[in-house]
Amino acid sequence: MTDGPADHLLFADNVVKTYPDGAVHALNGVTLGVRPAQYVAITGPSGCGKSTLLNMLGVLDRPDGGEVYFRGAPLSQRRDLDHFRAREIGFVFQSFYLIPTLTARENVQVPMFEGPKRTPRARAQKADELLELVGMAKRANHRPTKLSVGERQRVALARALANDPQLLLADEPTGNLDSENANKVLDLFTQLQKDRNLALVVVTHSDEVAQRANRVVKMRDGKIVSDSAAARGAQQ
């Protein structure tokens, strides 16, 4: 197993993030590589830096030290990070973050304004396909307030897939769901990861979520304290 950025879809190299007061390191030299089609769960206690790491991986925030690479290229040198985020990464959040005035179909189209060029009709058609994929076709014309929390998360998942990204980042995706809905969403994750060869990075407190991943990374105090892939490598 090689460890360089070129061998990974996404590679965080010795990433440091310091809180504004400068006293506390949210991330203290984290190195993590994610390969194509890999399902990685990042776990750890609250405040350990897992969401901060996810923000760095998704270029929602910039590291104070170190580098994040995508397909071997350093992201700090890219000027079109919005464009990169729109086309290469799908996000799923704990609180779904759907736009309340838009229907499910319209919410799914929001990232498409920055995706590959499509006509409004093609955008709507693509949204319908994605809603069908997550089992929400019949609820396409409903606004988020008319959907259950499980349904909202499935719409958010469809939105994350709007521009056919190769990487899906999810922050506590089942944190607001009951076990039945959580299982449905996790089943979708597993299915998508297999069908679309998606790399999936999920930040979670849930053991159930972590068990579904093929790699579990544990964090504490801004550092990775264990990595099941490394453990397997060591055993091999």
Partner 1 sequence: MYFFAFILKNLLRRPIRTALTVLGLAVAVGSMVALLGVADNVQRSVESAFDTRRVDLIVMQKNKPLGLDSDFGEFFTDEARKLPEVERLSEGVVSNATAKHNEGVMFLVQGWKPDNFGFEDMEVLNGRLLKAGDTYKVMIGKTLASNLNRKVGDTITFTADPDHPYEVIAVFKSRVVFEDGGAIVSFPDGQALTGKKVTGFSIRVKREGGDGAAQIDAVKAKIAALRDPKDKSVQLDAQSPETYVESVSQLKLIKAVSWIVSVIAFVIGVITMVNTMAMSVMERTHEIGILRAVGWPRRRVMSMILGEAVLLALAAALVGAVVAAGGLYALTRSPKVNGFIEPGLSPWVVALGTAITVLIGVAGGAYPAYRAARLLPTEALRHD
Residues that bind partner 1 (CB under 8 A): 55, 58, 60-61, 82-87, 89, 91, 93, 97, 99-102, 105-106, 109-111, 113-115, 120, 123-124, 159, 162-163
Beta carbon of residue 135, minimum distance to partner 1 (angstroms, whole number): 22
Instruction: CB nearer to partner 1: give 106 or 227.
Output: 106
Q: Which of 45, 33, 39 is nearest to 6 (CA)?
A: 33
Burial of 84 (0-12, 13-18, 19+ CB in 10 A): middle
Tokens 């407190």 locate to 205
Instruction: CB nearer to partner 1: give 168 or 210.
Output: 168
Instruction: CB nearer to partner 1: give 62 or 232.
Output: 62
CA 202 remoteness from chain centre: 6
DSSP-assigned letters across all residues of 24-47 = -EEEEEEEEEE-TT-EEEEE-STT
Q: Which of 151, 147, 193 is nearest to 170 (CA)?
A: 193
Beta carbon of residue 99, minimum distance to partner 1 (angstroms, whole number): 6
Beta carbon of residue 94, minimum distance to partner 1 (angstroms, whole number): 11
Instruction: CB nearer to partner 1: give 6 or 99.
Output: 99
Beta carbon of residue 134, minimum distance to partner 1 (angstroms, whole number): 16
Instruction: CB nearer to partner 1: give 55 or 206.
Output: 55
Beta carbon of residue 106, minimum distance to partner 1 (angstroms, whole number): 5
The CA distance from 169 to 223, in Å, is 19
Query: Nearest 5°: CA angle at 44, between 39 and 46?
Result: 125
Instruction: CB nearer to partner 1: give 39 or 91.
Output: 91
SS3 39: strand
Beta strand 73-74 with 25-34 is: unpaired
The CA distance from 133 to 98, in Å, is 18
SS3 content of the chain, % helix, strand, coil (to 5): 40, 25, 35
Beta carbon of residue 139, minimum distance to partner 1 (angstroms, whole number): 17
Beta carbon of residue 51, minimum distance to partner 1 (angstroms, whole number): 9
User: Which residues contact residue 210 at a Cβ distance below 8 angstroms, ignoring those fewer than 6 apart?
Assistant: 41, 43, 204, 216
Instruction: CB nearer to partner 1: give 61 or 64.
Output: 61
